[in-house]
């Protein structure tokens, strides 16, 4: 049997006025003539985001949800090049400490980040590479501020194919040597739906010794002819052998056959169960991040459906065992 824990990403459909991603553009920032006043406004927005983040964590605990993706937009303009000296951590210590205290009381709750698409580590562009590192540093500061061990807490895609996938893979390895070890330890890689398949991503993960976050929907959308995820599953498991956390994967469902890569509102339980029955018993636990438009509603709906299925032993509001 395998324990399955479901999670969702960034925002709840049920916590009203609870966005952790309220923002402010640099254009809006510039319109405030007093720079210090503009920074104070940024800090107020960030404080509100962190307070809403705590509300979401409380919502999750109340519904037995033990896995959650934090918004990467908690601190607006945190890594903007025109604000290099803004120390956003100090004015937010109270809000960060409140989250830390809550997570200490809920040690089984797993939280992590999925930085945005511009965090590309295989780029030839020095400026883009430095911006990616700066963004990872920002995530590390937030994790530390929340009292979370940063190891394996940031999921990234491999990056761009740049019209030569093999060369792009080697560029990733070359750039990897330029990344500080403390940031390397944060990173997990995910197969994508356009360029880098499970095999491509496994090549990198095995080469540099980091976990692979298997995205089943991405595999369905992007795999080579005769490539089978079943044949690679043991390799995926092995990338997690030295990790402190259980194997993590992503699940979503296509919006339609025509718009296959886009995420649907909810999860197709038939496809998920087909996958889970194949992997049951291969590992003790899998934490599955639901990437659906309806966020926690999708999780609740899926759990209701699974209650009626054979071979499913429901444990709580988001967890079950499958035989």
Please list the residues that pair with 249 across neighbouring strands.
Answer: 214, 288
The Cα 222–Cα 157 span in angstroms is: 14
CA 46/CA 95 separation, integer angstroms? 9
Give Cβ neighbours of residue 163 (< 8 Å, ≥ 6 apart): none
CA distance 52 to 58: 10
**Domain formed by 2-322, architecture:** Alpha-Beta Barrel (3.20)
Question: Which residues does residue 321 pair with via DSSP β-bridges, in sequence order?
Answer: 3, 313
Cα gap 237→248, rounded to integer Å: 10
Which residue is listed with tokens 């459909």?
Answer: 13
Under 8 Å CB-to-CB from 63, ≥6 apart: which residues? 296, 300, 317, 318
List of residues 6+ apart from 80 with CB closer than 8 A: 26
pLDDT tens, per residue, the chain with 323 residues: 999 999 999 999 999 999 999 999 999 999 999 999 999 999 999 999 999 999 999 999 999 999 999 999 999 999 999 999 999 999 999 999 999 999 999 999 999 999 998 999 999 999 999 999 999 999 999 999 999 999 999 999 999 999 999 999 999 999 999 999 999 999 999 999 999 999 999 999 999 999 999 999 999 999 998 899 999 999 999 999 999 999 999 999 999 999 999 999 999 999 999 999 999 999 999 999 999 999 999 999 999 999 999 999 999 999 999 98
The answer to whether 86 touches 39, Cβ cutoff 8 Å, is yes
CA dihedral 126, 132, 135, 136 (to 10 degrees): -120
- Specify the pLDDT at position 226: 87
CB 17 within 8 A of CB 49: no
Rounded to two decimals, the pTM is: 0.97
Q: What is the token pair recorded at 23?
A: 């923002």
List, in sequence order, every residue forming a beta bridge with 3; answer none if it has no partner: 285, 321
Report pLDDT for 252.
Answer: 98
Please answer whether residues 285 and 2 qualify as being in contact, where contact means their C-beta atoms are separated by less than 8 angstroms. Answer: yes
Each domain of the chain, given as residue ranges in start order, spans: 2-322
Contact 322/277 with Cβ under 8 angstroms? yes
- 251 in Cβ contact with 219 (< 8 Å): no
């Amino acid at each position: 049997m395998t324990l399955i824990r479901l999670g969702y990403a960034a925002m709840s459909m049920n916590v009203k006025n609870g966005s952790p991603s309220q923002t402010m553009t640099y254009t809006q920032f510039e319109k405030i003539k007093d720079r210090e006043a503009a920074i104070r406004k940024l800090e107020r927005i960030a404080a509100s985001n962190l307070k809403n983040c705590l509300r979401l964590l409380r919502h999750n605990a109340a519904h037995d949800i033990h896995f959650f993706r934090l918004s990467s937009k908690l601190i607006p303009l945190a890594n903007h090049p025109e604000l290099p000296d803004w120390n956003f951590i100090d004015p937010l210590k109270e809000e960060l400490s409140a989250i830390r205290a809550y997570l200490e009381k809920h040690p089984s709750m797993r939280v992590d980040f999925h930085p945005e698409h511009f965090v590309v580590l295989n780029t030839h562009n020095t400026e883009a590479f430095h911006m990616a590192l700066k963004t990872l540093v920002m995530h590390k500061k937030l994790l530390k501020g929340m009292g979370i061990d940063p190891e394996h807490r940031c999921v990234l895609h491999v990056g761009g194919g740049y019209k030569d996938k093999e060369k792009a893979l080697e560029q990733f390895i070359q750039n990897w040597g330029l990344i500080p070890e403390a940031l390397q330890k944060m990173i997990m890689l995910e197969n994508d739906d356009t360029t880098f398949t499970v095999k491509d991503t496994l090549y990198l993960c095995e080469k540099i010794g980091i976990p692979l976050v298997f995205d089943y929907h991405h595999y369905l959308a992007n795999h080579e002819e005769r490539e089978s995820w079943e044949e690679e599953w043991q390799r995926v498991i092995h990338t997690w052998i030295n990790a402190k956390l259980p194997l993590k994967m992503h699940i979503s469902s296509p919006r339609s056959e025509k718009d296959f890569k886009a995420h649907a509102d909810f999860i197709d339980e038939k496809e998920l169960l087909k996958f889970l029955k194949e992997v049951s018993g291969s590992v003790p636990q899998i934490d599955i991040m639901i990437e659906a438009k309806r966020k926690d509603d999708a999780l609740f709906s899926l759990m209701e459906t699974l209650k009626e299925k054979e071979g499913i032993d429901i444990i709580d509001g988001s967890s079950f065992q499958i035989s």
